[in-house]
Amino acid sequence: MRFSDPFEQRFAEMITHYPTKRSVLVPTLLYAQDEVGFLSDEVITEIAGRLELTELDVRNVISYYSMLTTKPRGKFNVQVCTNIACMLRGGEELLEHCEKRLGIGHKGTTSDGLFSLEEVECIGGCSWAPAVQVNYEFHENLTAEKMDAVLEGCRRKGMQ
Ligand code: FES
């Protein structure tokens, strides 16, 4: 399969920085996912071949990271942390709020393909709980009102 020229340039650069090819697996998967939308069977075969890994090696890594997916997601992947610090500061209520607002549950995707929702473990924003990650952006100290503003911002961006 063919990736874009910017992907190929990044890949060619990254591979020179490490003693083993395996070391670039996670960033390569992220770049491929950004480009294709998800990690399809074809992408997995391609990356396993390039990095001299088995497809099982690649799938094992994908299953470990909540940022990586083998299924298509919405344009904005809303990950709500309900781990201890966030739970104590309203993370579960925030997840329920998102479920109602978006009309989907955990691992669901809206029918317009704009949003996916996931309940996740700690995303490293405990000091500013409750925290949510949308694609690569973090949102912290959230309330229902602030969450609505985040979702609305995504909706506007998604329509551009
Ligand atoms: S517990 Fe939610 S970010 Fe750490």
Averages of pLDDT over each 10 residues, the chain, 160 residues: 94 95 96 94 98 98 92 94 98 98 96 95 96 96 98 92
Q: Which atom of ligand 1 is nearest to the CA of 85?
A: 1
Contact 132, 81 (CB under 8 A): yes
Ligand 1 lined by 85 (C-beta under 6 Å): yes
Residue 146 has phi, psi (to 5 degrees) of -65, -35
| Strand-pair category, 137-139 with 76-81 | unpaired
pLDDT value at residue 160 = 78
What predicted TM-score, i.e. pTM, was given to this entire model? 0.84
pLDDT value at residue 146 = 98
CA gyration radius for the chain?
A: 17
Q: Give the residue, out of 79, 80, 83, with the most ligand 1 atoms within 8 A of its beta carbon, to mutate for a pocket test.
A: 83
Residue 76 CA to ligand 1 centre (angstroms): 20
pLDDT value at residue 67 = 85
Short-list 35, 27, 38, 28, CA closest to 107: 38
Q: Give the residue, out of 88, 119, 126, with the most ligand 1 atoms within 8 A of its beta carbon, to mutate for a pocket test.
A: 126
| C-alpha to C-alpha distances, 139 to 17, 71, 147, nearest whole angstrom | 32, 24, 8
pLDDT value at residue 159 = 81
pLDDT value at residue 157 = 94
Ligand 1 lined by 98 (C-beta under 6 Å): no
